[in-house]
Amino acid sequence: MKNLNINLKIKSKLLILFFALFFFSATAIKDLEIYSGNKTIKLSIEIAKTEDERQMGLMYRDSLCKTCGMIFEFEEESIKHFWMKNTKISLDMIFINKNKQIVGFVKNTTPYSEKSCYIERKSTYVLEVNSGFVDENRIKIGDYINY
């Protein structure tokens, strides 16, 4: 009987985690373009615009497709701090101002780290993509996005 109670508790916790991941994950999918020099880089992104969506972010995911990402939208332009708690994959974070111009990067983040990831410039959006994406695509400060 004791094992049955333990199994039910574990199953209950897993069910709660499943519903949290399902309901609090960003569901809006859009195309995003990065204009870098004379080239356009296209991504399929999820949009995290509510507090719950931003808090969940890309946590607990095993992978992210090569042309996928998540953009975090905020109401105000300010210095944004992120961390990698419960995030299994290494990411590049692209910080973008209210004019949708790239103002900085945090590259090759460390999975599960609770260290604050930020830049010393104000941003309204933060785009998370796979680690190495910024360098592979030669994205620079001053490039623009549109979605």
CATH number for region 26-146 = 2.60.120.1140
- pTM score: 0.82
Q: Which helix (H) or strand (E) holds 146?
A: strand 144-146
- Give tens-digit pLDDT for 5-57: 556 666 565 555 554 555 444 457 899 999 999 999 999 999 999 999 999 99
- Give tens-digit pLDDT for 100-140: 999 999 999 999 999 999 999 999 999 999 999 999 999 99
Number of neighbours of residue 92 by Cβ within 10 angstroms: 22
Sheet holding 68-78, edge to edge: 102-106, 91-96, 123-130, 68-78, 39-48, 28-36, 144-146
63 is written with which tokens? Answer: 């992978």
CB 106 within 8 A of CB 117: yes
44 is written with which tokens? Answer: 């399929």
